Chain A
């Protein structure tokens, strides 16, 4: 947490996303898993809306993770095994899976049926859409998204990965790293997923061979370094038989690291409350500073009742930063500035609120504010632009071409947008960029330049997606054509010098990274310090005067 980043206005977009190393994970020292404890705590839940210190969530937080990897590599089987062996499957669910497995003449229960819940999925034995499951161990709570491996359903994989703190990428030990493995690793890195876990699966089918595992880990390592992923933990597993899924395998003695579940339980969590409170280097923020507030206005609350004839509040969820009563803020895109006079909730007013909180802001001046506006801190308010570039994952059959007119969803805004250029298309296998590409087609990833009719405060994407994330929507039927991350995500990731794939798991559970080297260990999405100092990457559009926030008319 003692980050070495210098905090100035230009560093703003990155400051909220520091990865933190969870020292507690080691200090707790609970390495072997006790089934009885699981049973007792399997469904542990919060008991008080503001935190019951006795519940798993409050002690060790919530980890959202997603599976990824090519078709049939064993993602759903792994998820089923994880749920089953951690005693998170209730008796009737297991009965149903056993009944279906028997009816199909299988000798043992096919655990993938726990998540492949659609008729078509069960009939074909593949995953088509994301399944969400919720479970808890004594150490942590989990939301897991089991995603499809088939290329045709990449949009569903992207959906599952977009909110993940960690992605488990599976590889079939017999076939090794394939194109889909690379595509999913790239998607995870580009959307800013902080942690990757490489699960080399079906190790039972290659005689638990260490060389096979090493070869695959090395191959993946080359790709990750090229991509700029900071850290990957590799684990040899058999999802079918349970080796290294919840308990460590007796059959893979050469591997000394944690099981998949142990890793999930101990990996450091971003958005760690302590880190968020500190807001970076201690003392860097004056107490009254709005600390980079981003508050997209969702709805204007006007009761117009007898006792509240003049109440006017702006409802929204804080996307970044904090807000306190008395803070000066600027309303974008208009650029008017005003003061926060109160923070309202149904439970009373608050002295301060932070990222993730749904609140109502009261302002001093009767400025004209509507849904779609952004209320931002005065010190680092993003300048409105009429042109910007974004890294885009194309998710629909209809191609994305220059000249396409669509609807942009950004924050709470929906605005007309024009695709002005395809800057390049990314070759997923080689990571080379093709500047000659004339369109992005289904499942392509590339860099796209957009033009707006009226200026909007578009700014660089931040991992987590509450800032800088966008959708391109077909205005005729509402189809989501593409998802984008403002800025140039590809060049925001840097090639890494050393090996990044770790097979003993020590790197991720031990804070080996000394504060001075913190910059090296930032999550993949963060831009290097030098680049950050140069200012936001995407505002190459009409020049904006950062002091007045005024933009030349389009």
Chain B
């Protein structure tokens, strides 16, 4: 059910509605030059908060390589997973990244992001496995939801693929500052044979000793960006000159309003009657399934402007852009218990 490909991977299903075509005025992605990532202080030593976060994440990634037999990195092309891949490349330099990459493709992903994903995989010289939700729907293991969103449908293909491929460590880009249930996560987080998270069974995790030992059939989720904030991620992207999918920067696109968010029209199920499409200058703070990932109105066309915008914002990243968290008060915890990342 999973298609193992060396990049470029399977082409994403192309959207048909003309309204979904990315605007002709494609945003000019100006990736600023890395602001001297190798600069030293007078004493010759590198210091600072980002440097510490990088060292910690590199340490975590090397622990995964040292403790596990079949690790995999969840790679969607979104900013957090791009940063994880960047860190993995640095951690094992000059050797190639010793991890396979996995993307659970809902079939409703942004084409710009999929195209970016494949380029990034190729550049890293890595192998990407794509688990397509559509395949699970086609053979009846999953059913389309009435609301059209496929975000919650990712869990089954994810867990199935982990079992099928016998992955024992699954590295994700989730951060504790994203959400209140994620704030409770360990860096090495044990999952049962069904991929489930039991917050009451979490292991003590002291100092920087990470215990990856697990019973057969269980696996460990690993979160190297646990201690990063959204602003840290962007500051690091700027400092390292990391390229991102262009939809993270302000661009004009046709959007319509639903539940206080700007959504992109598409054959995933929008707009409905009564919802009108208009052109707006927007950018995405997170990227996920098109059906539940909203854009924010923005004029921030480059990384410096994005950082200014985030410093000033009074709304959290997920609060501004994710419909899936709004279903219930404990929506994220419930999804994590079922095996979501």
Output the nearest chain A residue to B207 by Cβ-Cβ distance.
Answer: A465
B148 contacts the other chain (Cβ, under 8 Å)?
no
Report the minimal beta-carbon distance from A251 to chain B, rounded to whole angstroms. Answer: 30
What chain B residues lie within 8 Å of A409 (beta carbons)? 209, 211
On whether A156 and B207 interact (CB within 8 A), knowing A133-B183, A303-B96, the answer reads no
B63 contacts the other chain (Cβ, under 8 Å)?
yes
What chain B residues lie within 8 Å of A371 (beta carbons)? 66
CB–CB B49/A470 < 8 A = no
What chain B residues lie within 8 Å of A62 (beta carbons)? 49, 52
What chain B residues lie within 8 Å of A100 (beta carbons)? 329
What chain A residues lie within 8 Å of B320 (beta carbons)? 92
B279 contacts the other chain (Cβ, under 8 Å)?
no
Report the minimal beta-carbon distance from A536 to chain B, rounded to whole angstroms. Answer: 19
Report B217-266 residues with CB < 8 Å from chain A CB: 226-227, 229, 231-232, 234-236, 238-240
A43 contacts the other chain (Cβ, under 8 Å)?
yes
CB–CB B95/A302 < 8 A = yes
B327 contacts the other chain (Cβ, under 8 Å)?
no
What chain B residues lie within 8 Å of A464 (beta carbons)? 207
Which of B46, B59, B214, B227 is A134 in contact with, Cβ under 8 Å?
B227
Q: Interface size bucket, B side?
A: 35 or more
Interface-lining segment among B15-23, B139-147, B309-317: B309-317
CA distance A551 to B44 in the complex (A): 38
CB–CB A50/B214 < 8 A = no
CB–CB B49/A356 < 8 A = no
Q: What number of A residues sit within 8 Å (CB to CB) of B?
A: 91
Report the minimal beta-carbon distance from A156 to chain B, rounded to whole angstroms. Answer: 7
On whether A118 and B184 interact (CB within 8 A), knowing A49-B51, A91-B314, A162-B207, the answer reads yes
CA distance A552 to B208 in the complex (A): 31
CB–CB A50/B208 < 8 A = no
Report the minimal beta-carbon distance from B89 to chain A, rounded to whole angstroms. Answer: 7
What chain B residues lie within 8 Å of A93 (beta carbons)? 316, 319
Report the minimal beta-carbon distance from A117 to chain B, rounded to whole angstroms. Answer: 3
CB–CB A49/B236 < 8 A = yes
On whether A301 and B184 interact (CB within 8 A), knowing A45-B49, A50-B39, the answer reads no
CB–CB A346/B93 < 8 A = yes
Interface-lining segment among B130-138, B151-159, B196-204: B196-204
B119 contacts the other chain (Cβ, under 8 Å)?
no
CA distance A301 to B307 in the complex (A): 35
Which of A47, A49, A360 is B37 in contact with, Cβ under 8 Å?
A49
Report the minimal beta-carbon distance from A389 to chain B, rounded to whole angstroms. Answer: 19
On whether A473 and B213 interact (CB within 8 A), knowing A49-B51, A118-B333, the answer reads yes
Which of B93, B235, B319 is A46 in contact with, Cβ under 8 Å?
B235
CB–CB A43/B96 < 8 A = no
B11 contacts the other chain (Cβ, under 8 Å)?
no
Report B56-106 residues with CB < 8 Å from chain A CB: 56, 58-59, 62-63, 65-66, 89-96
CB–CB B95/A303 < 8 A = yes
Report the minimal beta-carbon distance from A271 to chain B, rounded to whole angstroms. Answer: 10
B24 contacts the other chain (Cβ, under 8 Å)?
no
A327 contacts the other chain (Cβ, under 8 Å)?
no
CB–CB B54/A483 < 8 A = no
Output the nearest chain B residue to A298 by Cβ-Cβ distance.
Answer: B62
Which of B90, B92, B208 is A466 in contact with, Cβ under 8 Å?
B208
> Digit string of A418-436 for contact with B (CB within 8 Å is 1, else 0)?
0000000000000000000
A235 contacts the other chain (Cβ, under 8 Å)?
no
B160 contacts the other chain (Cβ, under 8 Å)?
no
CA distance A304 to B207 in the complex (A): 34
A18 contacts the other chain (Cβ, under 8 Å)?
no
CB–CB B183/A132 < 8 A = yes
Output the nearest chain A residue to B89 by Cβ-Cβ distance.
Answer: A346
CB–CB B207/A48 < 8 A = no
Given contacts A118-B184, A409-B209, 19 further A-B contacts (CB under 8 A): A43-B231, A45-B229, A45-B234, A48-B50, A49-B236, A90-B316, A93-B316, A131-B184, A162-B207, A163-B206, A299-B62, A301-B93, A304-B95, A352-B44, A358-B59, A412-B63, A465-B208, A465-B209, A477-B213
14 contacts between A and B (CB under 8 A): A48-B35, A48-B48, A49-B46, A92-B320, A131-B180, A155-B204, A158-B204, A317-B58, A350-B46, A358-B56, A471-B206, A471-B211, A477-B213, A483-B206
Q: Across chains A and B, which 4 residue pairs bring their CB atoms closest together, nearest first?
A: A117-B180, A465-B207, A478-B213, A51-B48
